[in-house]
Structure 1
Amino acid sequence: MNFEDIQAVKNLLSEPQKIVIIPHKNPDGDAIGSTLALWHYLKYRGHEATVIVPNDYPKFLKWMSGNDQILNFERENSQAKSKIEAATLIFTLDFNHLGRIGQMEEPLGKLTVPFVMIDHHQEPSDYAEIMYSDVTMSSTCEMVYNFIEYLGDAESITPEMASCLYTGIMTDTGSFKFSSTTAKTHRVAAQLIEKGAESTEIHHRVFDTNTPGRLHLLGTALNNMVILKDYQTAYITLSQEELDAHKYQKGDTEGFVNYGLTLEGIIFAVIFIENREEGIIKISFRSVGDFSVNEFARRHFEGGGHTNAAGGKSNTSLTETATHFESLLEDYAVELARPSI
């Protein structure tokens, strides 16, 4: 953040505000961790704050302090709309375009109050008066830590806030293995542990709470994996029938796409998941090296994200989507033939 933005935020927070904090649709660990940490901080500063999520999120994220105070826009629509209409300040975290919040875009678009964006995704839109946007950051949680530090309140970080922030950093860095993890990321993580984040317990709560259904679904996903050695690419498909057969719950496919990158010689991994309720195929893209899945997703699948991690969607069938994906790879043959390191 530059000096002018820091001063602008300080001015906004210099008197009590009614604040709504919003993550993207289908929030992940970084989205929930950052919004709850900011919620704790703003309440400490004496503001009335509410986290409103566009829709539900995985059970393995619902242990964090403050989770029981989150409003679900789909499930608690009237209460959530009332909070939005009464807001004097809006914080948007872990997304940079209002199209990422689904049905919440309409009521937010009617507001005339200031918006503050904190986000690390590429190509932000300009809906926010104050934009803390940095694509080099590992996670929005690392940025929220910096945000609190910029405001001179790093000493106010409680164990509850530290746990939320550590969760988001841990999940968005793939347990600190993705290329976005910097020396500063590790220093922030260490400081959060010093402030009370129990790293071993957090890892257990997020990664070690599998159901039999999820593990069986993982087996199906791995069995479905297609390996295209000529393009150093691997992809997984999961149909609605396969999800239903294993009693799919939100979050069950989290991390499945990364298994493709554990294969020697693979630099591009994708998972296609059928969602009949929304009538789409949800897609996650991952890569290593300089192959930009952000550009690939934006160009071909109405998506985007980061250089090495992005999302997208398709409106055709699962089979047609996978076939179309394979047909695109020839145009990227030179890029996908490069060594990953």
Structure 2
Amino acid sequence: MSEAWSTNVSIAEIGDWLRGKPRVAVLTHGKPDGDAIGSTAAVVRAINHASHAPGHAARAWYVGPVPGWVKSIANGTAYRVVEDNGLPQKHEAEAVLICDTGSRAQLEGYADLLKTEGFAQRAAIVDHHLQGDAELAERRHVDSSAAAACEPVAELCAHIMGLAGVRELPKDVATPLYLGLATDTGWFKHSNVRPRTLRLAADLLEAGADHAWLYRVVEQRDRVSRLRLLGRAFEKMTLHCDGRVAVLPLSIADYHAARAGPGETGGFADQVLNVAGVLVAVVLTEVEAKGDPAQGGEPARVKLSFRSKSGRPAVDVNAVAQTFGGGGHAQAAGARLEGAMDEVIARVVAALTPAVEEAGAGEDLNENGVES
């Protein structure tokens, strides 16, 4: 029987375990976002600040594509991109910390490392997602109530550095932590914002994080290609379930026409949730097949990115994504499906329909914007 996806060690225990390890490899999910890069960069910096022994070091390893802003945020951080440098060697991964995921599927870019003998015994996970593969790591701290992985990682950084609290962290550790917290909450507008989220944000600002600089570096740097791709997504958007579900399909041809890269769809679904009545938005991205399926190559696949509107009524898109072998959070989840785009759209709409019907009608707002 497989282990349950749950916490089995405290943050302090993970911190104490890391302190004694000369070489630490810090991993996260492929195509890392703000929380993934923020949590890993912060803990790498904290470990390296705290380590005074010769030869002791931590390094983050990312499976791309990585965001264009990563050099601005991770400048001064020891990190490598797997596609450019390969996987960490055994002597570079005497201990492995995985942040912001515990899903084997999201770690497929590190597959050869995960298969090495004794990997689970020298690994720990700090995550906030509802699902994961517990057998990946012997030590796990899973806080599904946290708005971002950076919430528990902030505590971990303070413990590693022997500080009384988060507000005592150096600026270069506080900054990536604030980034992860801000981006995973939609800059503090999503329903996962809790009182403790804002208290942590205040502590990180006290420690020197610069909100305005981070917002400009991360959010105000779109390429024209991203806007062209967004336009194509809007043009192809279809509404289902009496306007409560919006589907935005993007083909490989759309990317080529817009001259866009694979990491440029972030936030597309959130844009559609601004439409009154829409409860769920799904971005479907065609994934280019590798080789001929008839000759053992990968079949055509479509990547799904679900977002649902907070408040009442609400749709649990994590439950829907799970039916496709994916998962995530109640209001933000993902999955991948084999098949042609039209077939996948039909399956997704069919799976969402009962969930939307159960949630009820979309907002009925009066002239003052108040639910009636």
Please confirm whether the aligned pair reaches a TM-score higher than 0.5, indicating the same fold: yes
Given that 2:31 and 2:65 are in contact with CA atoms closer than 8 Å, whether structure 1 keeps it comes out as yes
Question: Against the structure 1 CA distance between its residues 166 and 111, is the aligned structure 2 distance closer, same or farther, given a 3 Å change threshold?
Answer: farther
Asked if 1:306 corresponds to 2:329, the answer is: yes
| Whole-angstrom distance in 2 between the partners of 1:200 and 1:92 | 29
What is the distance in 2 between the residues matched to 1:115 and 1:198? Answer: 32
Deviations 1:273-310 (A, max 9, x none): 112156421110011244211110011x2210001100
SS at match of 1:230: coil
* 1:93 partnered with 2:99: yes
* Matches of 1:142 and 1:68, distance apart in 2: 20
Q: CA deviation at 1:229?
A: 4.9
> Which of 128, 133, 144 is matched with 1:125 structurally?
133
Aligned-partner residue type, residue 144 of structure 1:
V
Q: Which residue of 1 aligns with 2:151?
A: 142
Q: For 1:235 and 1:281, how far apart are their aligned partners in 2?
A: 13
Task: Work out whether 1:192 is the aligned partner of 2:204.
Answer: yes
Answer yes or no: is the 8 Å Cα contact 1:145–1:165 preserved in 2: yes
Change (3 A) 1:224 1:199: same
- Is 1:332 the counterpart of 2:355 in the alignment? yes
Structure 2: distance between partners of 1:329 and 1:5: 37
Moved more, 264-273 or 3-12: 3-12
CA displacement at 1:69 relative to structure 2: 3.4
In 1: Cα distance, 2:105 partner to 2:284 partner:
21
- Say which of 106, 111, 115 aligns to 1:109: 115
- Equivalent pair of 1:29/1:61 in contact (CA under 8 Å): no
Q: Does 1:223 align with 2:228?
A: no
Q: Is the 8 A contact 1:27 1:57 kept in 2?
A: yes
CA contact (8 A) 2:100 2:127 kept: yes
Hey, what's the Cα distance between the residues in 2 that align with 1:13 and 1:330?
A: 46
Do the aligned partners of 2:39 and 2:150 also contact (CA within 8 Å) in 1? yes
- Counterpart position of 1:8: 13
**2:318 matched residue in structure 1:** 294
Deviation larger for 110-119 or 235-244: 110-119
Task: Name the residue aligned to 2:88.
Answer: 81
The structure whose residues are more often helix, as a share, is 1
Distance 2:328 2:25 in 1: 24
Q: CA deviation digits over 1:236-293, x for unaligned, max 9?
A: 1111111111111242111001122111111111110112156421110011244211
**What is the identity, as a one-letter code, of the residue corresponding to 1:293?**
V
2:255 to 239, 243, 248: 243
Q: 1:59 to 1:256 in 2, by over 3 A?
A: same
Picking from 279, 289, 304, the partner of 1:283 is 304
Asked if structure 1 preserves the Cα contact closer than 8 Å seen for 2:225 and 2:260, the reply is: yes
Indicate if the aligned counterparts of 1:59 and 1:251 stay in contact, CA closer than 8 A: no
Candidates 45, 61, 70, aligned match of 1:61: 70
The CA deviation at 1:339 is: 5.4
Distance 1:183 1:319, change over 3 A: same
- Give the counterpart letter for 2:124 in structure 1: V
Evaluate the alpha carbon distance shift between residue 326 and residue 123 of structure 1 in structure 2; reply closer, same or farther with a 3 A threshold: closer
Give the superposition deviation at 1:16: 4.5
* Shift in alpha-carbon separation, 1:59–1:339, aligned structure 2, 3 A: same
SS in 1 for 2:72: coil
Query: In the alignment, what sits opposite 1:34?
Result: 39
Shift of the 62–330 alpha-carbon distance from structure 1 to 2, 3 Å rule, reads same
Aligned residues of 1:124 and 1:133 also touching (Cα < 8 A): no
Residue 252 of structure 1 aligns to which amino acid in structure 2? E
1:18 aligns with 2:39: no
Amino acid at match of 2:318: N
SS in 1 for 2:339: coil
Counterpart CA distance in 1 for 2:213 and 2:15 is: 34
Q: 1:222 to 1:88 in 2, by over 3 A?
A: same
Does residue 183 (structure 1) correspond to residue 201 (structure 2)? The answer is no
TM-superposed deviation, 1:233: 1.1
Please identify, of 20-29 and 144-153, the stretch whose mean Cα deviation from structure 2 is larger.
144-153
- Matched to 1:81, the amino acid is P
Report the secondary structure of 1:234's partner residue: strand
Q: Deviations over 1:68-111 (max 9, x none)?
A: 6321222211xx332x4542211000101233111312322314
Distance in 2 separating the partners of 1:67 and 1:252: 25
The runs of 5 or more residues in structure 2 that have no matched partner are 1-5, 291-299, 364-370
Q: Residue 273 of structure 1: SS of its match in structure 2?
A: strand
Q: Is the 8 A contact 1:234 1:270 kept in 2?
A: yes
Aligned counterparts of 1:323 and 1:10: Cα–Cα separation in 2: 47
Segment of structure 1 superposing worse, 178-187 or 14-23: 14-23
The Cα of 1:234 is off from its aligned counterpart by 1.0
When residues 122 and 221 of structure 1 are mapped into structure 2, their CA distance, relative to the original with a 3 A threshold, is same
Distance 1:69 1:168 in 2: 18
